[in-house]
Structure 1
Amino acid sequence: MRPKIARFGGVVAAGLAVTLTLAGCAGSSNDNSSGGGDVTEIKVGFMGDLTGENSAIVIPPRDGAKMAIKEYNDKNPKVKITLVEYDSQGKPDQATPLVQKAISSDKISALIGPAFSGESKAVGAILEQGKIPSVSPSATNPGLAKNGWTYWHRVVANDDDQGPGVAGFLVKAKSPKKAFVLSDDQEYSVGLADAFEKEFKAKGVTVQRDKFSKDASDYSSTVSKVKAANPDVIAFGGYYAQGGRLLKQLRDGGVTATFATGDGSLDAQLVSGAGAKAAEGAVIGCPCKIPFGAAEGPLKTFKDNFKAATGNEPAIYATEGYDAATAIIKAVEAGNTTGEKINEFLKTVSFEGISKPIKFKANGEPESNEIFVYEVKSGAIALLGSAAEAKLS
């Protein structure tokens, strides 16, 4: 996932400035040791939208990461981990100076995040230059794995998997002849919409498409286009803040086609934003498995521990935040405290995570890429199962 794309020129300028700033510390150990002795503590960052309009997607993985690190520190290890939070509000232009501070001033040894793809794209080269490994619990844009970065990782499948998973599920469940693909202009939104469109066309479905501004509130022009097209299904690439408003206006405008979207809208605020009646039957895909109704096993244990630690039920990407932190924790447990050594460890890390088996490909992608499907039922979001096996109610 990821909010809006940064302007290219701004990213380049910021990247050059940070590169110059980091030149003097590129060889730094970032070990936060005191007095030149053995390392007893390191700092690990968490970056994402913690107070912005899409923060409900990022707070659960932040809380999952905090829980994993607290469990580790409670064992009284030789090297403790301090989690340092960076609230980017999901904005690339805010993420850039925060990453500079994290590396040059705070001297983090690793980063959990960034949570969204736009900010991940903006700061990836800076983290690479600073030799700081990152593990994102939620950034899904496919292009992130194509930058040649060696310090970048994620624990979720990308939109080239999510798009076909959701669109393929709709084709199987609804046998549509016509689909309308919508998005706002954020990087995540456009990328997911592209993946929807590609899969629909591959399945022989006729596709029409429209895009609107992230900051728009009146979607009447889009609603008119969709109504005139009379599609069998609608697929929206975007976040719940926009998705809820869009769905409400579509239903108010008389559009009744099945509405589907991706992980950026997997939150109860999609339902509250649209209204329970308008949201009923909406389909949401995600490369995540939220432990709804877990009755036993590791998911049940995680659910109980998360509720005890936070007072909340685990939501989207809570398990992925825990697993992203655990990958870094395992590196530290093995005696690695610098960014370079942690990164080397991540190349071979392999463990059974809460969300899925955690192992990274050479380009930082996860080995596991399963997509899950959810549906709004009676005003609540319910897990239907994997995209390959799920059925609409």
Structure 2
Amino acid sequence: MRPIVKIATPVAAAALLLAACGGTTGGSSDTSSSGAASGGGDCPEGISIGFFGALTGPDANLGVNINNGVKLAVEEHNAESGACQVAVEEYDSQGLPDQATGLATQAVGDENVVGIVGPAFSGESKVADPLFDEAGLVGITPSATNPALSENGWGTFFRVLGNDATQGPAAATYITDTLGKQKVYVVDDATEYGKGLADLVRQDLGAAKVKDNTVQKGQTDFSAVVSDIRGSGADAVFFGGYYAEAGLLLKQMRDAGLTQEQVAFVSDDGAKDQGLVEAAGGPAAEGAILTCPCLPPEEAEGTFAADYEEAYGTAPATYSAEGYDAATILLEGISEGNVTREDLLAYVKSYDAPGVTKQLKFDEKGEPSEISVWAYKVQNGEIVADQEIGS
């Protein structure tokens, strides 16, 4: 694996941060270092990798976390002596599947783009990945966890974290065994991701599931759901979905007097963001549990966490390290002369090297060889690692 190179100047770090936070639809972000060599003859001018995911909209925090990791990897790559200079094309889906077709078509049509980090969410992946597969454009998602994505026969699909077939059972086990809850109310947000994961939790809870409900993306009034939770006698709620709705549901539960001790609140990686704490109003989020098949960023190998904080002025968050790993695989392939889509795809299929989150290697369906699921909790207003589930 290529060595990690720290960003050398505050100017470079500031430029990196501004580029990451100013996401555009199909926009280009130049992360090349002014002092780096332009690369050898095998390096096509304008060669790029894409980031595909939400940079604006209600779920943007998760996409920005990933994009920051991608940009950090590219900045370090471009700073190496003789490196083939790589740009990042940003495809801001806003996390909406109905945006994915146009953006995927745009990416496929740009011959400079040889690989994609993403799509970030499962719903947009379901729409975009068939187009990538048809074009032979490799995509490595750091966050889309619906298990069905790897069952479609797409030869260009890869992901660097475990899917919800591992997260769902782990969440159910944590609720019943670690929290000791036996009457669980399960809610989902009707999205490809949220419903898919909640259905797996329902299945693994078995008799411990007392009732189901479904809400909608963008919903803000959960009073009927809260009333139903109270009437069900549930001692825990599992919410499958994203942080905006999860935070509001949690706030309204606590405002109704359902404390964490009475009715534990458990959600997922899509809700594992500081936006949940903010939406819940701060104190109401205390004690909430979030599961994720992602490594605690502070446990990433090497100097990743310190380099990220130096570049962005904040600690890495959900999927930042996974985004860095996904980008690194593509960048190492380019460094080894795999500068066409066909060659880079073949390189990714055979990849086997340590990343900052794990040993990175894929099976024939594009699933990672190493999988872990962690529980996190809200403590003093921050989301902190609790334990690896099953370890």
TM-score band by shorter chain is 0.7 to 0.9
- The reply on whether 1:282 has 2:288 as its aligned counterpart is yes
- Mapped partners of 1:216, 1:175: distance in 2: 30
Which of 122, 125, 150 is residue 120 of structure 1 equivalent to? 125
Which of 258, 270, 274 is residue 268 of structure 1 equivalent to? 274
- Mapped partners of 1:291, 1:378: distance in 2: 18
Distance verdict in 2 for CA 1:134–1:68, change over 3 Å: same
Which of 135, 144, 148 is residue 149 of structure 2 equivalent to? 144
2:307 alignment partner in structure 1: 305
Aligned-pair Cα RMSD in Å: 1.5
Q: Is the Cα contact below 8 Å between 1:132 and 1:339 reproduced in 2?
A: yes
CA offset digits 1:29-55 (Å, max 9, x no partner): xxxxxxxx7433421111110011111
- Mapped partners of 1:349, 1:286: distance in 2: 24
- The reply on whether 1:57 has 2:96 as its aligned counterpart is no
Helix, strand or coil for the counterpart of 2:303?
helix
Equivalent residue runs for 1:146-225 within 5 Å:
146-201=151-206, 204-225=207-228
- Mapped partners of 1:349, 1:302: distance in 2: 21
TM-score (norm 1): 0.85
Deviates more, 1:147-156 or 1:298-307: 298-307
Which of 244, 251, 265 is residue 247 of structure 2 equivalent to? 244
2:108 alignment partner in structure 1: 103
Long gaps (5+) in structure 1: 1-36
CA offset digits 1:332-391 (Å, max 9, x no partner): 1221111111111111101111111111111011111100111111222111120124xx
- Mapped partners of 1:166, 1:266: distance in 2: 13
Which of 75, 79, 86 is residue 91 of structure 2 equivalent to? 86
- Mapped partners of 1:374, 1:174: distance in 2: 13
Helix, strand or coil for the counterpart of 1:150?
coil
Distance verdict in 2 for CA 1:379–1:78, change over 3 Å: closer
Deviation at 1:206, TM superposition (A): 3.5
2:26 alignment partner in structure 1: none
1:335 alignment partner in structure 2: 337
> Structure 1 counterpart of 2:99, which letter?
Q
Which of 231, 236, 254 is residue 233 of structure 1 equivalent to? 236
Q: Is the Cα contact below 8 Å between 2:202 and 2:209 reproduced in 1?
A: no
- Mapped partners of 2:390, 2:110: distance in 1: 47
CA offset digits 1:61-95 (Å, max 9, x no partner): 11111111111111133532111111111111212
- Mapped partners of 1:160, 1:250: distance in 2: 28
Deviation at 1:147, TM superposition (A): 0.5
- Mapped partners of 1:48, 1:381: distance in 2: 23
- Mapped partners of 2:288, 2:269: distance in 1: 13
1:77 alignment partner in structure 2: 82
Q: Is the Cα contact below 8 Å between 1:183 and 1:211 reproduced in 2?
A: yes
- Mapped partners of 1:38, 1:68: distance in 2: 21
Distance verdict in 2 for CA 1:347–1:67, change over 3 Å: same
Deviation at 1:177, TM superposition (A): 2.2
Helix, strand or coil for the counterpart of 1:89?
coil
CA offset digits 1:131-156 (Å, max 9, x no partner): 10000111011110111000011111
CA offset digits 1:316-341 (Å, max 9, x no partner): 10100000001111211221111111
Long gaps (5+) in structure 2: 1-40
- Mapped partners of 1:59, 1:225: distance in 2: 35
1:40 alignment partner in structure 2: 44
- Mapped partners of 1:343, 1:207: distance in 2: 46
- Mapped partners of 1:289, 1:174: distance in 2: 21
Deviates more, 1:346-355 or 1:257-266: 346-355
Q: Is the Cα contact below 8 Å between 1:227 and 1:254 reproduced in 2?
A: no
Equivalent residue runs for 1:323-362 within 5 Å:
323-362=325-364
Q: Is the Cα contact below 8 Å between 1:290 and 1:317 reproduced in 2?
A: no
Helix, strand or coil for the counterpart of 2:278?
helix
CA offset digits 1:93-117 (Å, max 9, x no partner): 2121111111213541111101111
> Structure 2 counterpart of 1:166, which letter?
A
Distance verdict in 2 for CA 1:381–1:337, change over 3 Å: same
Number of residue equivalences:
347
Deviation at 1:277, TM superposition (A): 2.4
Helix, strand or coil for the counterpart of 2:202?
helix
TM-score (norm 2): 0.86
Distance verdict in 2 for CA 1:54–1:157, change over 3 Å: same
